[in-house]
């Protein structure tokens, strides 16, 4: 059919192909029902399109929120724990350490978070009833269970290191020493930790681990790191370490000269650096065993009373010669009395100078096969650098009020001499709650420490290079922290916690969903707010 203004071609009763600019008018004129049908279809399409666009927009916004939350949520703290028990000659202490699972220069950043003093004497004192050695550890292990999160128990390693007290017990009765260790192992295995072993460490290990501890706490090993709790200084030189226990004493440092004795040389690699260290442990020269040697040398076979200048005047102690001579440190001297069951009474006289003479008698300085020796023919290079003295060194000097601050060698000698001259009643009155066993021996311990340090080479000219340390940055000075640091070298490094997406993936997804949401929003705007340029030709 042909008409003015356009052409229309009939395809079906209700469908037309429009060829003129008056399309809608022709539909309305020639087929009102077809026009209504087209309008309905147009509205239906608009609703479907709106629904689809709305869903896409909501999904895009939700994806942006979910990705941002997951990628930026706080990462879990990946902390590991370790337990070390220091089974010393006089007591046992438990230390709990923690460090991040990711390691720095192959060594974990370890610090002490808790400690527990085991009630009673050291595990070697249970030689007559070895089962009690393990039972004595129960209370402190229970405290470790409470301190360490339950989900970390199975992966927390437990180590027990026994020192000079157990070394002496092994010398006198190896079977009993083994029974004590078995008792300790049985107790530690009964807890839900990762038990790694209980063993008697060597004197060299004790000295070397103490050296590691001192230098770690004094920040001499590491460069600046975000993992550190405290800012390290710029020093690269290490400090020497002096340890004094009940049955042994250790000296460890990095000398300037070549170490002449290979048995006194150790190599360490920590935080990416290698150290060649001199160390020696003097078994039987801890303060308790040194006192036994001094007493044994002062006694005669028929003596029932011993006047001792190393105890304060007015002090009296009774002890059996069997207990005294049961130690290998005394029996090796060949000074056995005629009657081992005899009871001896010590009566203190409190004389610094006489005590000094008796203490010097227990050291042998008559021979040396090296360029230099400390005592008993043991090689020692010249002292080099600063030194930190801990354990009994610190406790004795702290009692004498000479542990902190700057004090000359003469000032320390005067403090020891003044203490030795005090009557026992005055000492007790001034010192209150300190156990009598320790309080009564401070005179001897002070004199002994001064003599020992002099033999090591600490004279007045280098006394300022020596400091007495108890805790540094909240950690006890001692071999256990160094032991833990060394053991973390053997623990495989773990990757630090990371977000679920890489940075590139995160940025890519955020850009994609942002563009998608913007496109959907723009499409909706164009569909429902048609610009005039899109309305051309529509009547």
More confidently predicted of 441 and 498: 441
Alpha-carbon radius of gyration of the chain: 41
In a domain, 176, yes or no: yes
The pLDDT confidence band at residue 498, using thresholds 50, 70 and 90, is low
In a domain, 213, yes or no: no
What pLDDT sits at residue 342? 78
| One domain, residues 83 and 159 | yes
| One domain, residues 88 and 26 | no
In a domain, 330, yes or no: yes
More confidently predicted of 454 and 268: 454
Provide the domain limits for residue 6: 2-73+504-534
Question: Residue 537: pLDDT above 90?
Answer: no
**Chain mean position to CA 298:** 44
pLDDT in tens, 385-394: 999 999 999 9
What pLDDT sits at residue 164? 94
List the structure tokens of 363: 């050291």
Question: Residue 258: pLDDT above 90?
Answer: yes
More confidently predicted of 197 and 521: 197
Alpha helices (runs of H) in 337-478, residue ranges in sequence order: 352-360, 392-399, 409-421, 424-431, 436-440, 442-456
More confidently predicted of 334 and 414: 414
What pLDDT sits at residue 263? 93
The pLDDT confidence band at residue 519, using thresholds 50, 70 and 90, is confident
The pLDDT confidence band at residue 270, using thresholds 50, 70 and 90, is confident
The pLDDT confidence band at residue 378, using thresholds 50, 70 and 90, is very high
User: Residues of the chain with pLDDT > 90: what percent?
Assistant: 55
Give CA–CA dist 32/117, Å, rounded: 100
Write the CB contacts of 177 (distance below 8 Å, at least 6 apart in sequence).
Answer: 124, 127, 166, 169, 170, 200
pLDDT in tens, 306-347: 899 999 999 999 988 888 888 899 888 776 655 555 788 999
Q: Span 278-301, mean pLDDT?
A: 92
Of the residues 134, 168, 201, the one at which a domain ends: 201
* Segment among 13-17, 149-153, 268-272 with least mean pLDDT: 13-17
What pLDDT sits at residue 222? 62
More confidently predicted of 236 and 411: 411
What pLDDT sits at residue 386? 95
Task: Tell me if 292 sits within 8 A of 358, measured CB to CB.
Answer: no
- Nearest alpha carbon to residue 395 among 427, 456, 441, 459: 441
- Nearest alpha carbon to residue 136 among 185, 90, 184, 176: 184
| One domain, residues 95 and 45 | no
Give the dihedral sign, CA 171/175/180/182. positive
Q: What is the DSSP letter of 381?
A: P
What pLDDT sits at residue 125? 93
List the structure tokens of 5: 């203004």
In a domain, 141, yes or no: yes
The pLDDT confidence band at residue 107, using thresholds 50, 70 and 90, is low
Residue 432 has phi, psi (to 5 degrees) of: 50, -100
| One domain, residues 194 and 107 | yes
In a domain, 305, yes or no: yes
- Nearest alpha carbon to residue 338 among 307, 299, 305: 299
Number of domains, the chain:
3
Of the residues 315, 340, 359, the one at which a domain ends: 359
* Segment among 199-208, 211-220, 288-297 with least mean pLDDT: 211-220
Hunting for tokens 């690269």 — which residue is that? 236
Task: Tell me if 467 sits within 8 A of 386, measured CB to CB.
Answer: yes
What pLDDT sits at residue 171? 92
Give CA–CA dist 93/122, Å, rounded: 9
| One domain, residues 33 and 121 | no
Q: Annotated active-site positions, please?
A: 206
| One domain, residues 27 and 91 | no
Label residue 285 exposed, middle or buried (CB < 10 Å: 0-12, 13-18, 19+).
buried
What pLDDT sits at residue 332? 81
Of the residues 322, 344, 359, the one at which a domain ends: 359
More confidently predicted of 217 and 465: 465
Give CA–CA dist 248/287, Å, rounded: 8
| One domain, residues 197 and 97 | yes
Write the CB contacts of 22 (distance below 8 Å, at least 6 apart in sequence).
Answer: 5, 6, 539
In a domain, 456, yes or no: no
Question: Residue 17: pLDDT above 50?
Answer: no
pLDDT in tens, 69-93: 665 666 556 788 999 999 999 899 9
3-state secondary structure of 327: coil
Q: What is the mean pLDDT of the chain?
A: 82
| One domain, residues 39 and 97 | no
- Nearest alpha carbon to residue 438 among 169, 90, 165: 90
Question: Residue 527: pLDDT above 80?
Answer: no
Q: Span 40-61, mean pLDDT?
A: 65
In a domain, 34, yes or no: yes
Task: Tell me if 242 sits within 8 A of 465, measured CB to CB.
Answer: no
User: Residues of the chain with pLDDT > 70: what percent?
Assistant: 73
pTM higher than the cut 0.95: no
Give CA–CA dist 99/113, Å, rounded: 10
CATH of the domain at 82: 3.30.420.40
| One domain, residues 120 and 180 | yes
What pLDDT sits at residue 87? 96
| One domain, residues 354 and 300 | yes
In a domain, 234, yes or no: no
| One domain, residues 12 and 92 | no
Question: Residue 444: pLDDT above 60?
Answer: yes
Question: Residue 456: pLDDT above 90?
Answer: yes
Question: Residue 224: pLDDT above 90?
Answer: no
| One domain, residues 189 and 113 | yes
Give CA–CA dist 324/346, Å, rounded: 12
């Amino acid at each position: 059919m042909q008409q003015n203004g356009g052409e229309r071609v009939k395809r079906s009763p209700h469908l037309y192909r429009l060829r003129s600019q008056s399309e809608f008018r022709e539909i309305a004129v020639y087929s009102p029902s077809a026009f209504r049908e087209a309008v309905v279809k147009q509205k239906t399409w608009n609703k479907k399109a709106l629904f689809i666009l709305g869903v896409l927009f909501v999904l895009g916004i939700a994806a942006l929120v979910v990705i941002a939350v997951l990628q930026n949520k706080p990462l879990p703290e990946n902390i590991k724990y370790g337990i070390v028990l220091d089974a010393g000659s006089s007591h046992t202490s438990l230390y709990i350490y923690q460090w991040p699972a990711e390691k720095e220069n192959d060594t974990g950043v370890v610090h002490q978070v808790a400690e527990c003093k085991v009630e009673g004497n050291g595990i070697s004192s249970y030689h007559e009833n070895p089962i009690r050695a393990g039972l004595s550890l129960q209370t402190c292990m229970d405290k470790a269970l409470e301190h360490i999160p339950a989900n970390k128990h199975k992966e927390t390693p437990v180590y027990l290191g026994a020192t000079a007290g157990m070394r002496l017990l092994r010398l006198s009765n190896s079977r009993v020493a083994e029974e004590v260790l078995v008792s300790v192992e049985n107790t530690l295995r009964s807890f839900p930790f990762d038990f790694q072993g209980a063993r008697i460490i060597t004197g060299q290990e004790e000295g070397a681990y103490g050296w590691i501890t001192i230098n770690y706490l004094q920040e001499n090993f590491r460069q600046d790191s975000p993992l550190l709790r405290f800012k390290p200084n710029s020093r690269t030189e290490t400090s020497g370490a002096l340890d004094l226990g009940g049955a042994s004493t250790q000296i460890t440092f990095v000398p300037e000269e070549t170490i002449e004795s290979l048995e006194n040389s150790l190599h360490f690699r920590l935080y990416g650096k290698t150290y060649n260290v001199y160390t020696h442990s003097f078994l039987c020269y801890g303060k308790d065993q040194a006192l036994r040697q001094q007493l044994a040398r002062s006694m005669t076979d028929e003596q029932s009373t011993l006047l001792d200048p190393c105890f304060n005047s007015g002090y009296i102690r009774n002890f059996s010669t069997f207990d005294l001579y049961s130690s290998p440190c005394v029996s090796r001297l060949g000074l056995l009395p005629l009657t081992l069951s005899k009871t001896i009474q010590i009566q203190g006289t409190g004389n610094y100078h006489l005590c000094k003479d008796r203490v010097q008698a227990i050291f042998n300085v008559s021979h040396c096969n090296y360029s230099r020796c400390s005592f008993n023919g043991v090689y020692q290079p010249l002292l080099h650098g600063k030194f930190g003295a801990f354990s009994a060194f610190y406790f004795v000097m702290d009692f004498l009020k000479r542990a902190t601050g700057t004090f000359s060698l003469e000032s320390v000698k005067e403090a020891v001499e003044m203490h030795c001259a005090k009557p026992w009643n005055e000492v007790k009155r001034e010192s209150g709650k300190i156990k009598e066993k320790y309080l009564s021996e401070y005179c001897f311990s002070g004199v002994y420490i001064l003599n020992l340090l002099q033999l090591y080479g600490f004279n007045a000219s280098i006394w300022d290079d020596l400091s007495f340390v108890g805790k540094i940055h909240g950690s006890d000075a001692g071999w256990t922290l160094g032991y833990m640091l060394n053991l973390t070298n053997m623990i495989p490094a773990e990757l630090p916690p990371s977000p679920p997406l890489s940075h590139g993936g995160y940025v890519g997804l955020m850009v994609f969903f942002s563009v998608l949401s913007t496109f959907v929003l723009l499409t909706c705007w164009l569909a429902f707010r048609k610009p005039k340029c899109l309305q051309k030709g529509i009547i």
